[in-house]
Amino acid sequence: MESRKQPIGFLVKQINNVFEKELNGRLRTIGVTSSQCAVLDYLFHTNKEEVSQRDVERNLNLKNPTVTGILKRLDEKGYILCVPNEEDKRKKNIYLTEKAYDIQRRMEADRKKLDKRLTMGMTKKEVAAVTRALEKMLYNIADP
């Protein structure tokens, strides 16, 4: 790769592009995309009892049409159920299915392998510092 000083945003974007391509390649065998994996991961690890589409949008910094498409495909594949909210029938609550739990371990293992590659040659302190810096950058740029 050509060595030149790049704006940090472009560097983050390049890392994301490579990461997403690699993750999609690994996840293809279980039939999900990296975007679908991110939504499932949020659902697996949230402590909310009822999760709405808006929760997914906020927590993953995604727009409504993007999340609508991802949820539709996850529902069609049988990984989630979208159930009308009791108090507001216009809203839907999202629930994981057994099928989603069946692939959870594999998805997490694939993602961890890529994380390990990303941080190869780095100390635990360096990884922690990069993580803090990236979290700060996300906070600085994300919508409130």
How many residues are given for the chain? 144
Which residues of the chain are modeled with pLDDT < 70?
Answer: 1-3, 89, 144
Q: What is the pLDDT of residue 3?
A: 65
Q: What is the pLDDT of residue 94?
A: 95
Q: What is the pLDDT of residue 33?
A: 96
Q: What is the pLDDT of residue 50?
A: 87
Q: What is the pLDDT of residue 4?
A: 72
Q: What is the pLDDT of residue 142?
A: 84
- The SS3 of residue 82 is strand
Q: What is the pLDDT of residue 85?
A: 79
Name 92's bridge partners: 84
Handedness of CA 65, 91, 43, 31 (dihedral sign): negative
- The SS3 of residue 50 is coil
User: Starting at the edge strand that comes first in sequence, how are the strands of the sheet with 92-96 ordered?
Assistant: 51-52, 92-96, 80-84
Q: Domains in the chain, please, with CATH?
A: 8-141 (1.10.10.10)
